[in-house]
Amino acid sequence: MLAKSIIDRCELLSRRKKELEHKLASLEVISNPTEYKNLVLEYERLDKIVSVYTEIKDITQKIVELEKEEDVNDEEYKSMVQEEINSLTQKLELKELELYRMLVPEDVNERRNIILEIRAGTGGEEAALFAADLFRMYSKYCSKKGWKLEILDINETGLKGIKEVICYVTGKDVYKYLKYESGVHRVQRVPVTEASGRIHTSAATVAVLPEAEEIDVKINPNDLVIETFRASGHGGQHLQKTDSAVRIKHIPTGIVVQCQDERSQLKNKERAMKILRAKLYDMKQKEQIENIAQLRRSQVKSGDRSEKIRTYNFPQNRVTDHRINFSVYNIDEVMDGNLDEIISKLQQNELKEKIESLCTTT
């Protein structure tokens, strides 16, 4: 059953659709290509919403009429009626979900590429090894999705761990799927460095920043301090003889970024600026979110990286996402990049919360 607030909104959109029909037929609008194009796009969106809403009203009316026929004494006929009601009820639920998806505003960042940052947290060398495991996990997930992952900067340890890695991920709907990964990831297992076989708890942080275009973030060149230095290479290899690495500090915010993965100083500078724009855009978004209390009700929505979001428990073969209290018992598959089951549950939870918010604020 649709909430009254949703019904009121759909009725309002139905009236707006009729208004657009009249406007699109007027010579004044037809003679203005820009306005005509914008109104056509709005009309097409409303037409889909109103069409589904009309179907919902029709199905609801059919159910009401059938329920009146349940009072008959003919048990066989009553059974047929009940079967038809059940069928229509299932169809109604699907149509209502379709309508909610249309009404819920799309995240403006969902189609963007991302900057992915993974950093070792508490736990010493084991944390660095876990950060490396997460990097492999996301690399494999990106490969399965057909996305391209480029390393912008990496700081490795001697035991094949990673202190920090920054990547650029491009492809279709990258942020839409990976935005839920921001936060503290915790691992519980016996480290390879542990001789006594004791289980240790370590952590790594993941940040997923939507790529920012120059039009999203204006950067004053006078606010930047740009330094060049000699790249150390990966694990001490590929040592550079020139100052090709670039470090940029944004004076107003104190944000410092660097890139040394390319041999070209110009390319490293371009990549460092890409990271800086993403960080500034992320900061700008957080300021907006802080001003809208309802968007901070959910860890899934806010992407707050200060909270523990997931635990990887190797002895119990369990991965638990604490935001939705959901566990899977196939840790090897998850670490092999099979994240769709967890991410799907997070997407469903986010949609549910948005629908609830829509019903109470409309």
Residue 147 has pLDDT above 70, yes or no: yes
Torsion 291-254-300-113 (CA) sign: positive
What mean pLDDT comes out for the span 29-35?
90
Of the listed ranges 66-80, 258-272, 301-315, the one predicted with least confidence = 301-315
What mean pLDDT comes out for the span 250-261?
89
Distance CA(357)–CA(64), nearest Å, equals 28
What mean pLDDT comes out for the span 66-82?
82
Residue 214: pLDDT band with limits 50, 70, 90: low
What does the block give as tokens for 62?
């059919």
Residue 101 has pLDDT above 90, yes or no: no
Residue 149 has pLDDT above 70, yes or no: yes
Residue 238 dihedral angles phi and psi, to the nearest 5°: 50, 50
* Whole-number pLDDT of residue 2: 81
What mean pLDDT comes out for the span 209-238?
76
Helix, strand, coil tally for the chain in percent (to 5)? 50, 20, 25
Half-sphere exposure of 351 (CA within 13 A, CB side): 15
Cα 83 to Cα 4, 58, 77, 87, 88, distances in angstroms = 28, 18, 10, 6, 9
Residue 37 has pLDDT above 50, yes or no: yes
Average pLDDT of the chain to the nearest whole number: 86
Q: What percent of the chain has pLDDT over 70?
A: 90
Distance CA(254)–CA(33), nearest Å, equals 46
Question: What pLDDT, in 10s, does the model give residues 173-199?
Answer: 999 999 999 999 999 999 877 767 789
* Whole-number pLDDT of residue 16: 94
What mean pLDDT comes out for the span 32-42?
90
Helical H segments across 121-219, by residue range: 124-145, 174-178
Residue 303: pLDDT band with limits 50, 70, 90: very low
**What does DSSP assign to residue 288?**
H
Of residues 113 and 193, more confidently modeled: 113
Half-sphere exposure of 347 (CA within 13 A, CB side): 15
* Whole-number pLDDT of residue 39: 93
Residue 339 has pLDDT above 90, yes or no: yes
CA 318 from chain center: how many Å?
23
Question: What pLDDT, in 10s, does the model give residues 235-250?
Answer: 444 445 567 889 999 9
pTM of the predicted model as reported, rounded to 2 decimal places: 0.68
What mean pLDDT comes out for the span 225-244?
66
What does the block give as tokens for 285?
């978004």
Distance CA(313)–CA(88), nearest Å, equals 44
Residue 56: pLDDT band with limits 50, 70, 90: very high
Residue 60 has pLDDT above 90, yes or no: yes
Of residues 322 and 238, more confidently modeled: 322
* Whole-number pLDDT of residue 233: 56
What does the block give as tokens for 129?
């090894």
Q: Is residue 165 within 8 Å of residue 153, measured between CB atoms?
A: yes
